[in-house]
Structure 1
Amino acid sequence: MKKSWIACLLLQVPALAQAGAPASPKPGVSDVERYARRCQPQSAQRIARPQGTMLWGTRRDWNTEKASGEHESVLVSADLAPLRRAENGVQALRLEGGHLEASPVPRAGTAISGVVGAVLQGSASDGKPVEVAICGAEPSAEDPGMVFYRIEAWNAVAQEWENPCVAVDRDTAPRALAVSGVWDASGARQAVPGKFTFACQNGAITKCVLWGYKPWSCRDGQSMTDLHQACTRMARADYCGDGQSHTRQNTTIDIYDRLGVIQRTVTTSREWDPAKAAFEAAWAPDGATCISRTRDGRALETVLQECPHRFQAGAVTDLGEGERCTVRRTDVSAGAGLLRNLSYAAPQSPVSPGKGP
C-alpha cells in the first residue's frame, strides 16, 4: 500500500523579532576563545522568534532589531572543504546522500560521527562569510542514511555561537539536514561543487525531504531532485517561482504527485476533510504551472501582476478528476506539473501562532 500523507505546513506569519540584540557588535574574541566556546550544553528553554514563511528555516538576520525580508538568511550554504577546524585528524567532509562523512575516517568513531566538532565556512544570503560548527549528528530512525545535525553559527553581532535555525513551539531546538545544492533568494536550486545547504527542520527544504521527496534518491528510475524542488515551491505557495510566498501560518494542504510517492487523500480524518477542500495548483520546479485559487485568499489578479506575462487567465484548463485551472502558464503545459495540491478556503483572520497539527 502506497504511502499517503497530509502535509501540515507550519509557516510563520512575518513579524519583527523581539528586541534585545546589542546595538553594535561586542569587541572581537580570539580564534582560540571562539572555537573553545562552540557546542556548549544548551538550556532546554529557547525564545521563539517567528520570522515568516521559510525556505531554509533559518533566522533572517542576527540583529533582532532589523526588519528583514523572507529572501534573507544568516546561513544559505556551507563549504565541504577546507575546514576551519576539525577533530581527530579530519581534513575534509563529503556529502553522501542524506549525510556527511569525515575524510579521512578518524580512528575513534565512524565517517558519520567523525564530522562532529568540525567548523565549516558558510555564507549568508548577503554573501558575507559565517562559520558553522557541527555539534551533534543523529541518524533518522526511519532512514539511518539520513542524519540530523545540531549546528551552531558564529553570531558576529552578539559574539556568540547560536543555533541559526528558527525555533517555534513544535521544535524549540531545531536541527538541520545536509542537502545537496544551494538555494538562492528566488528559491531556485543550483548545484555548486563543494557546497551544500544546512536546511533547518522548520523550512520548506527539509519539510519536503521528510514528506518523502529526498533529492538524493530515485523512484522508478527517475531522480527525485525535480520533485523535491517542485515541493519547495508548493510548500511556500511560490506561484511565480521568484521566492515570494503566498501562504499563512499553520496552513493544512493535501499533496500528491505523478510518481505516487504521496497519493491524494480520500478519507476523512481529524486533520483533513476532502469534502471541504478544493484544487489549488499544479507545480513544477520553477513554480506553478496552473492555478485555480490562492492559498492565502488573495485575488488571482494579484499574482498575475506580480509576474506579468508568466500566466494566462480566462481559459479554463481541465486536468481531470475534478481539477480545473483558471490561470495557466504561457510557456509550459498546465499538465506538466510534477505535484498537485488541494487546500481549504483561506481563513478570514490569521491563525494564532503556535496552534496547529
Structure 2
Amino acid sequence: MKECLLACVVLLLSALAHAAAPVVEKTARPRSVSAATGASDAERYSRRCQSQAAHRIARPQGTMLWGTRRDWDTEKVADERGSVLVSADLAPPRRADAPVKALRLEGGHLVAEPSSGGVVGTVLQGTASDGRPVEVAICGAEPSPEDPSMVWYRIEAWNALAQEWENPCIALDRVPDPRALAVSGVWDVSGARRDVPGKLTFACENGAISKCIGWGYKPWASREGQSLTDLHQACTRMARADYCGNGRNHTHEDTTIDMYDRLGVIERATEVSADWDPARGSFEAAWAPDGATCLGHTRDGRALASILQECPQRFSAASVTELGQGDRCEVQRTDVNPGTALLRNRSYGAAAGATSGGGR
C-alpha cells in the first residue's frame, strides 16, 4: 500500500517578512581589527565554530529557497531572491584541520578526500547571490535520525561586514540554531537549479530546498527507475508558490497545503486530520521544475489576473482544463500541457473568481 502523507507547510510572509525574520545574533565582540582592514587568516580561522549549540528543538518550515540571510547588512532592505551564500566549492578547501584535499558528495552527505580526514573544521570557498566570495566553515555533522545516510551540517560563514563567523541560516523561534544539508546543484536568483561540477548548495533547514528533501523528494534518489531531481525542483517552486518560475513567492505564513505527485511519493490526503480538511481544500496549482503549469487559485488570495500580469505571455485564461479528481485549471501555461505536471497541490485559498485586487 502506498503511504498517504500530508504535508503541512508553515510559510513565511512576503519578501519583507523574510528580511524581518528573527535571527539569533552572537554577542558582539570588541573589534581590534576594522572591517576595512579585515582580520588576518590565522585570526579569522581560529574564531570559527565557537558558538554552535548541539541541542536540536524542532524542524522549521518556511518559504525561502535557501533558508539563508539575504544580506549581512541587517538595516538593508534586500531582495527576497538574495542570499549571503548560494553555493560552495568542493575543492580545494580554504582550510582543514585534517589532511583534506577535497570534499565530494555521496547522496545526502559529504566525504573527505583522502578518507582519513574528516569534514568538520573544513573551510570552503563559497559564493553569495551577488557573486561575492564568502568563506563557509563546517562546524558539525549530525546524521539524520530518519535517514542515517543523510547528514545535517552546522555551518558558519565569514561576515566581512561584522568581522565575525555567523550562521548564515535564518533562525526561527522553533529552530534558533538551524543546520544545513549539502545538496548537489546550484540555484540561481530565479530559483532555477543547474548542475555545476565541483559545487554544492548548503540548504538551510528553513528553506524550500531542504524542506522538499524532508518530504521525500531527495534529488539524489530515484523511484521506479526515475530520478527525483526534477520532482524535487518542482517541489521547491510549489513550496514557495513560485507560479511564474522567477523566484518570487506568493504565500502567507501558516498556510496549510496538501500535495501529491505522479510517482506516488506523496499521495493526496482523503481523510480529515488536525491539520487538513479535504472538504475545505481546493486545487491550487500543478507544478513543473520551472514553475506552475496551471492554476486554480492563488495561495495568498490575490486575483489570478495579478499572476498574468507578473509573467505576461506565460499563462492564458482562454480555456478551462480538467485534470481529474476535481482539479480544475482556470489559467494555464501557453507552452506546456498542464497534464504533464510532476506535482499538484491543494490549499484553502479562495476559489477561482472569488478574489479581487492583487496586493499582498
TM-score by length of 2: 0.89
Deviations 1:320-343 (A, max 9, x none): 111110101111101010000000
Query: Aligned residue pairs: how many?
Result: 336
**1:238 positional shift:** 0.6
CA distance in 2, matches of 1:203, 1:301: 28
Query: 1:78 is matched by which residue type in structure 2?
Result: A
Deviations 1:109-150 (A, max 9, x none): xxxxx1000000000000000000000011111111110000
Share of identical aligned residues, percent? 69
Are the equivalent residues in 2 in contact too, given 1:10–1:202 (CA < 8 A)?
no
In structure 1, the residue corresponding to 2:317 is in which secondary structure? strand
Give 1:1-357 correspondences, 5 Å limit: 1-13=1-13, 14-15=16-17, 16-17=19-20, 25=35, 27-42=37-52, 53-106=63-116, 114-345=118-349
CA distance in 2, matches of 1:308, 1:327: 12
Query: 2:7 is matched by which residue type in structure 1?
Result: A
In structure 2, the residue corresponding to 1:228 is in which secondary structure? helix
CA distance in 2, matches of 1:106, 1:255: 43
CA RMSD of aligned residues (A): 2.2
Query: 2:180 is matched by which residue type in structure 1?
Result: A
TM-score by length of 1: 0.90
CA distance in 2, matches of 1:3, 1:156: 47
Query: 2:206 is matched by which residue type in structure 1?
Result: N
Are the equivalent residues in 2 in contact too, given 1:181–1:191 (CA < 8 A)?
yes
CA distance in 2, matches of 1:9, 1:37: 36
In structure 1, the residue corresponding to 2:7 is in which secondary structure? strand
Query: 1:232 is matched by which residue type in structure 2?
Result: T
Instruction: Give the equivalent residue in structure 2 for 1:353.
Output: none
CA distance in 1, matches of 2:174, 2:51: 20
In structure 2, the residue corresponding to 1:28 is in which secondary structure? coil
**1:198 positional shift:** 0.1
In structure 2, the residue corresponding to 1:33 is in which secondary structure? helix
Are the equivalent residues in 2 in contact too, given 1:26–1:158 (CA < 8 A)?
no
Deviations 1:202-225 (A, max 9, x none): 000000000000000010000000
CA distance in 2, matches of 1:37, 1:209: 32
Against the structure 1 CA distance between its residues 25 and 66, is the aligned structure 2 distance closer, same or farther, given a 3 Å change threshold?
farther
Are the equivalent residues in 1 in contact too, given 2:85–2:126 (CA < 8 A)?
yes
In structure 2, the residue corresponding to 1:234 is in which secondary structure? helix
